[in-house]
Every structure is written in structure tokens, then in C-alpha cells.
Amino acid sequence: MRPPRAEGWFAEDLDRLPEAPRHTELSDGALVFVMWPRRSWHGRLVTSLTTVLMAQAPSGFEVEREMTIRLDARSRPEPDLLISTKPYDPDRTWFDPADVRLVVEVVSPESAHRDRTVKLRKYAEAGIPHYWCVEDEDGSPAVHVYELDEPTRAYAPAGIHRGSLRRPVPFAIELDLDALTPPRGGNRGGG
């Protein structure tokens, strides 16, 4: 695939790339293809988080999975999950960072560097108030929580949560982290 212009790719180009893989992101004008097969743990965790957060979200908040955020003209990352104050729109293909309250990235081997450094910096610079980076600790999720420090436009660590998570922002959230994925090699209850 060749860029449509000498300057490379722009955010709006992602809506006109039918030949691109499903999870294509744009970072500083470069296309990022998620070609690595996603692990079952990753998919289960994202699905469970989506369901639980949708059930807890009050009126005025929407939970979206795998939707891009147009950070600027040349960057449109696709987080695993986001919480927005924009009403549901079935034709939406991206969000403006001003409408996003929380971004959740579930780290995989392929995305680790981007999730822990590049996206951490870019989401903060875009003014997104809350960022969660979820790590796999032997099959159990550990949620690294960050809050935006407005004057510096950088994230400040707000805790690492294992087992359970309680947060008052962007709305009251209470999670049993251990219940989000089945235990390794075992069933949940009976058989």
C-alpha cells in the first residue's frame, strides 16, 4: 500500500482503506498493522471489561470497543476500549479526544512498547483524562491506572490494581479483576 501523497497518511485516510487489515492504526503518519494473532486471554479480558463497564456506566457515558481516536491529523490509534461522553452513533468511525474520558489498552507482546510508552504519551498530550494499561500477570490482570496532570499534559500514576479495582472517575467503577477471565487451565465452577 502506498500513501496517497508525498506527506504520507492522514487520519481521514483510515476510512478509505478497504484493503487494510481490520485493526489498522495511524501513528505519526505511519500505518500500524496489528497482524499478530490475539491471545484468548486478551479477547476475553476486553469482552468482560466492555460488558462490566457498560453495566456500570451512568447516563451520558458510552463504552466503545476497538474504535480509533483522531488525536491529530497524522495519528489515529485504536485502543482496546474507551469511554466517551458522545452519544451512540452507529455510523461513527472515530472519536475526538475531547469526548474521551478513559482509554484502556490491554498489553500484548506485539503492542507492549506502544501501549506503555507511545500511547501513554500521545493520549496525555491529547488531553484524555484517564488511561488504564492492563498487564497479564500469570493470567490475572493488573491494571496500571494513570490520571492526567493538566499543567504538564502528562499522566501521573494513580495506582496498580490487582484482584479488585475501585475508582471514582470517570464515574464510579468497581471491578472484580479476577472474575474477568477464567483461571488458567480450569473451569469456572462445575463441569
Does residue 5 sit within a domain? no
Give the cell for residue 36.
499478530
In a domain, 17, yes or no: yes
In a domain, 146, yes or no: yes
Residue 156 lies in a domain: yes
In-domain check, residue 43? yes
Nearest residue to 155 via CA among 180, 181, 120, 186: 120
Residue 185: is its pLDDT beyond 80?
Answer: no
**pLDDT at residue 176, rounded to an integer:** 98
Whether 23 has a pLDDT exceeding 90, the answer reads: no
CA 37 to CA 100: how far, in whole Å?
27
Q: Which residue did the predictor score with more confidence, 1 or 124?
A: 124
Please report which confidence band the pLDDT of residue 10 belongs to, taking 50, 70 and 90 as the band edges: confident
* CATH (domain of 130): 3.90.1570.10
Quote the CA–CA distance of 23 and 21 in Å, as a whole number.
6
pLDDT tens digits for 94-126? 999 999 999 999 998 888 888 899 999 999 999
Query: In angstroms, rounded to a whole number, what is the distance separating the alpha carbons of residues 67 and 149?
Result: 25
d(CA 117, CA 155): 11
- The per-residue pLDDT for 187 is 57
DSSP H stretches of helix in the chain? 40-56, 112-113, 119-125
Residue 2 lies in a domain: no
Confirm whether 117 is domain-assigned.
yes
Average pLDDT, the chain: 89
Total number of residues shown for the chain: 191
Residue 133 has pLDDT above 70, yes or no: yes
pLDDT band at 90 (very low <50, low <70, confident <90, very high): very high
Weakest mean pLDDT among 6-20, 114-128, 132-146, 160-174:
6-20
Domain of 71 in residue numbering reads as: 11-179
Domain count, the chain: 1
In a domain, 64, yes or no: yes
| pLDDT tens-place string over residues 27-71 | 777 677 665 557 788 899 999 999 999 999 999 999 999 999 999
